[in-house]
Amino acid sequence: MNICEIDITNFRNYSHANFRPASFNIFYGNNAQGKSNFIEAIYYLGNGISYRTNQSRELINWDSDYFRLEAHCTNDQGTITIKSLLNPNEKNIYIDGVKINRLSELFKNISVCIFEPDDLALVKGNPSKRRSFLDREIVTIQPLYYDLIKRFNNVNHQRNSLLKFARRDKNLISQLEDWTDLYTKFAYKIVVKRIDFLKKIKPYLEYYLKKITQNKENLDIIYEIGQIGEKIVDYNAYCEKIKSFKSEEIEKGNSLFGPHRDDFNVYINGYNVKKYGSQGQQRTVALCLKLAYLEIAKQELGEYPILLLDDVMSELDMDRRIVLVDTIHDKIQTFLTTTDLDMIKVLVKKSTILQIHDGKIINTS
């Protein structure tokens, strides 16, 4: 999957920019010039949202009242044009001129994933980080998973409202049971998809970890259901578990058991990396999870996603930089930002370099 041409208008500090990306693209320049803004534009084209804000209006250039992003892409099926438009009257995405109704339609046509410094805290950070890693990555390879998550969130929201009132109004209990059935159905589907994803990612994670550490460490990656750390369960057991929380949930007025409370942990030689790993080890596992994900995407989609690396090189030591570049070079269309061009030039032999200054591409080589 490749972007052949990208055109951005009134996005962040860009009035207008256009270029034809190569396989490896480097945005370089001083701080606050617009390097990450360009990465954000590409991310938005592929995901219909930003990874830095959920207020799309913030993305519009301060001197304008709209933005427009357009990319011509090639994938296995041929060429497509994706256009994103935000103005006071519309916020829409068009694929080959046709407005889409669901973001999953966008994900079926393009996948763009990002690796940024924050992702290195994946192992050490709180469970919500790991859940969004899982969900974000599963969506890229199975676009309909996005609809499943949305439906679960809606049901969870409705059910929580009922739970809040059910303590005082016992007539709501039967209604609550209907919602619980739906809740359980969606919740279980999410859990199964996540467990399946982790199963697929494990051999690749093992491969990259060995490549970096040169150790023959024994690796495990385990999905933990709820805060009780339960392992894989069948559907009936899962239903029973949810039912067992009924009175406590009514008491608290909130759902207490579901995929929005789950987690996963990585174990090396039997110890939990989140609890006992050094910071270096935790960051290595996070990097390897990302690299492993790219292989899963290739396996499932038949082609690699487009990769955005925002400021991530400066956060890695030389060994890890080498493994990262070796893995992606000549294989994955990459867009990378840096303030230190010499550091990247040592690693990457063939690339297009774009010098960014004050919201403009001032030089391309």
Sole binder of ligand ATP in the list 6, 8, 26, 37 (CB under 6 A): 37
> Which of 26-34, 70-78, 201-209, 227-235 is the region at the interface with ligand ATP (rule: CB under 6 A)?
26-34
- The answer to whether 321 contacts ligand ATP (rule: CB under 6 A) is no
**DSSP tag of 56:** G
Q: Residue for token digits 């370099």?
A: 353
- The answer to whether 36 contacts ligand ATP (rule: CB under 6 A) is yes
The secondary structure of the chain in percent helix, strand, coil, rounded to multiples of 5, reads 50, 25, 25
- 5: closest CA among 68, 69, 51? 69
- The answer to whether 232 contacts ligand ATP (rule: CB under 6 A) is no
- The answer to whether 33 contacts Mg ion (rule: CB under 5 A) is no
> Which of 27-35, 90-98, 123-131, 219-227 is the region at the interface with ligand ATP (rule: CB under 6 A)?
27-35
Q: Give the Cα separation of 33 and 13 in Å (integer).
A: 8
Q: Which does 34 bind (CB under 5 to 8 A by kind): Mg ion, ligand ATP, none?
A: ligand ATP
Which amino acid belongs to residue 4?
C
- Torsion angle, alpha carbons of 188, 190, 191, 192, to 10: 90
For residue 290, CA distances in Å to 84, 219, 296, 312 come to 27, 16, 10, 12
Least separation in angstroms between CB 34 and ligand ATP: 4
Least separation in angstroms between CB 62 and ligand ATP: 4
Output phi, psi for 353, to 5 deg: -110, 125
- 20: closest CA among 364, 295, 272? 364
- 25: closest CA among 6, 9, 44? 6
- The answer to whether 37 contacts Mg ion (rule: CB under 5 A) is no
36 or 333, CB closer to Mg ion?
36
Least separation in angstroms between CB 64 and ligand ATP: 8
- The answer to whether 36 contacts Mg ion (rule: CB under 5 A) is yes
Residue 34 three-state SS = coil
Q: Are 266 and 204 in contact (CB under 8 A)?
A: no
112 or 134, CB closer to ligand ATP?
112
Sole binder of ligand ATP in the list 9, 35, 156, 250 (CB under 6 A): 35
- The answer to whether 142 contacts ligand ATP (rule: CB under 6 A) is no
Sole binder of ligand ATP in the list 62, 168, 236, 342 (CB under 6 A): 62
Q: Give the Cα separation of 138 and 194 in Å (integer).
A: 8
Q: Give the Cα separation of 361 and 93 in Å (integer).
A: 25
> Which of 55-63, 175-183, 222-230, 235-243 is the region at the interface with ligand ATP (rule: CB under 6 A)?
55-63
Q: Which does 33 bind (CB under 5 to 8 A by kind): ligand ATP, Mg ion, none?
A: ligand ATP
57 or 99, CB closer to ligand ATP?
57
**Binding-residue pattern over the window 339 to 358 for ligand ATP, x denoting contact by CB under 6 A:** x-------------------
Residue 361 three-state SS = strand
- The answer to whether 33 contacts ligand ATP (rule: CB under 6 A) is yes
31 or 126, CB closer to ligand ATP?
31
Q: Give the Cα separation of 27 and 337 in Å (integer).
A: 5
Least separation in angstroms between CB 33 and ligand ATP: 4
- The answer to whether 61 contacts ligand ATP (rule: CB under 6 A) is yes
Residue 306 tokens read as 């487009």
Q: Which does 339 bind (CB under 5 to 8 A by kind): Mg ion, ligand ATP, none?
A: ligand ATP
* Pairing label, strands 306-309, 334-338: parallel
Q: Mention every residue, 6+ apart, whose C-beta is less than 8 A from residue 196.
A: none
Least separation in angstroms between CB 6 and Mg ion: 18
Residue length, the chain? 365
- The contact set with Mg ion (CB under 5 A) reads 36
- The contact set with ligand ATP (CB under 6 A) reads 12-13, 29, 31-37, 58, 60-62, 311, 337, 339
